[in-house]
Chains A and B, each alone.
Chain A
Amino acid sequence: MSAPSTQDTSPPREQFTGQVGFILSAIGSAVGLGNIWRFPGVAYENGGGAFMVPYVIALLTAGIPILFLDYALGHRFRGGPPTAFRRVKTWLESLGWFQVMICFVIAIYYAAVIAWALSYFVYSFGLQWGDDPAAFFTGDYLQLSDTANGGPWFSLDFVPAVLIPLVLVWVATLAVLAGGVAKGIEKANVIFLPVLVIAFSVLVVRAIFLDGAGDGLNALFTPDWGALGDLNVWIAAYGQIFFSLSVAFGIMITYSSYRKRKANLTSPGLVVAFSNSGFEMLAGIGVFAALGFLAHEQGVAVADLEGLTGPILSFVTFPAVISQMPAGALFGALFFGSLALAGFTSLISILQVVSASFQEKFGLSRRQATLWIGLVAAALSVIGMATTTGLIALDTIDNWSNQIGIVASAVIMCIFFVWLLHKGPELRYHLNAVSTFQVGRWWYACVGVIVPAILAYMLVSRIVDLVQNPYEKYDETYLLYAGWGTLVVLVVGAVVLTLPRWRRSPDEFTPWPAFPPSVTTTSKEAAR
């Protein structure tokens, strides 16, 4: 093996240039499509203003604690999930690869949504969806297969209007990743995140001055205190915080591994978590002000509107809003531009997890990893998402990889690290040794009890629901392959990627600072 000789010439581990670069990149990762199209609808459907109570409690007792868990693991064990987990316990490497597989699968369809947003950014200028945005989205634009009338569930009929922007998204993503952590990811976030915040703020201000905006905000914020007695509302709040923060599937582990060892973790983490929620609040106000305007124009109540979350909110309901407002083209460009930017800064973080893990295990250079992973992911993305069945595949794979894959990953992480391996004290010590905001013992209760208990409940009830009721009433055979098959791919991928030998073993590694701390000082001093 020539490893020892090449080892001396290997470049240093990549690093963010500093605290601001890391914070902006982490916010760019956390703020994604879910902040814009998921939070407003979830809040509205789960108690309106009263939802903010479980939401804030979930942020403090689940979101921030599990974010700290990710930071501690990545920063202390200095690597992507497979490296970091292996350094905790050799056999945990497979859990790391499970997270890498989740990222890989998500990237494949996430890129497609950004491509749609780019198309709609262009369409905004001519209001090209016309009078029937729903028919335009699924018919004219996606050319969605008519499965109800015998159309195929999987086709290779490509849709050029999706294919072209999708290829552009992949080219841009790979260019950023090839640039590296500081010159690619950080630079992209430093430019795009402020643009996103400014563009979205302009949109929100415009929205709240529309006729009927007050009705929309009434609908969003009028509290239904009775909802607080409903367990499902609390689960929805924890789910929203959990999915919104991009935790427990490797992103924050990977990003924190690119911070220097003597770097503050918890205080920047608080800024990231509150920024993410702050952006969600902004999105809630903007989206519901606009929905109030739409209801006003259509002469109906906000409660009678349909399509208040997900792709339908963005690509059907919002175009209807845009068509009816003065200077709608500008509003549309701001909305879809924001959607594309929010998605893009998240997509690069998702793929960096895959890239970092392959670089570390297989000794690939950054450019090699980017090229190979990018080519495979882009090819799968084009084949799966740029066809007439892309929307169905996206919807199905998203549901299984998120609702089951990520949630299972989080539950397993908490159980293994806190309960089976008793790593809680070591990780808390690590956070406190390098950070200015000290984490108390309450953190054990959050990551050891609250998070796994609530997420395990979510996971089990979701699985039961999916077994009993075919998702979206899709064809059951299709769901078996595309839905449950996604889970099989995640697990098999995790096992297969664990098997090969490491190009250079990550095992000769001593975490710093040593734990327990008393041993550190004595042994270090003795060594000198």
Chain B
Amino acid sequence: MTTPAIMLMVLSLLIVWGGLVVSIFVLRARPERADYPAGGDDDHREDDHVVEHDT
């Protein structure tokens, strides 16, 4: 491979896979928020309107 091609390949991989690695670390460091606005309990009666006729 030529030098410019190798450089571009390495750089592209560093950016895209580096972005992936960083985003995984960011997520692992703080998987969920510690604080949420009030409320927000999953009220299934409110948002579900699927009736399981077969159960």
Contact = CB atoms under 8 A, between A and B. Distances in A.
Given A52-B11, A274-B19, A436-B33, A359 B50 contact: yes
Contacts of B27: 19, 264, 267-268, 270-271, 436
B30 A222 contact: no
Nearest to A257: B47
Interface string B6-44: 111101110111011001101100111100111111101
Interface residues of B, number: 43
A360 B54 CA distance: 16
A274 B31 contact: no
A364 B8 CA distance: 52
Highest count of chain B CB atoms <10 Å: which of A9, A274, A277: A274
A264 B32 contact: yes
A363 B53 CA distance: 9
Contacts of A277: 16, 19-20
B26 A436 contact: yes
The interface size bin for chain A is 35 or more
A7 B14 CA distance: 52
Contact of B51 (A6, A263, A270, A524): A6
A472 B29 CA distance: 51
Given A19-B31, A49-B8, A222-B4, A10 B40 contact: no
Contact of B5 (A12, A217, A262, A363): A217
Given A274-B23, A364-B50, A260 B42 contact: yes
Contacts of A61: none
B12 A281 contact: yes
A262 B32 contact: yes
Interface string A499-528: 000111010111011100100110011000
Q: Secondary structure at chain A's binding surface: helix, strand, loop or mixed?
A: helix
A79 B24 CA distance: 27
Nearest to B44: A12
Nearest to A513: B37
A218 interface: yes
Contacts of A433: 36-37
Given A221-B9, A281-B16, A434-B36, A270 B46 contact: no
Given A222-B4, A222-B5, A365 B17 contact: no
B38 A520 contact: yes
Given A217-B5, A222-B4, A506 B49 contact: yes
Contacts of B5: 48-49, 217-218, 220-223
Contact of B49 (A263, A270, A360): A360
B42 A271 contact: no
Contacts of A79: 47
A228 B3 CA distance: 20
A485 interface: no
A366 interface: yes
Contacts of A503: 49
Contacts of B41: 261
Contacts of A435: 33
Can you list the 10 inter-chain pairs with the closest CB atoms, starting with the nearest? A49-B8, A12-B44, A513-B37, A274-B20, A270-B23, A504-B49, A221-B5, A436-B30, A13-B48, A267-B27
5 contacts: A10-B48, A217-B5, A261-B40, A275-B20, A517-B37
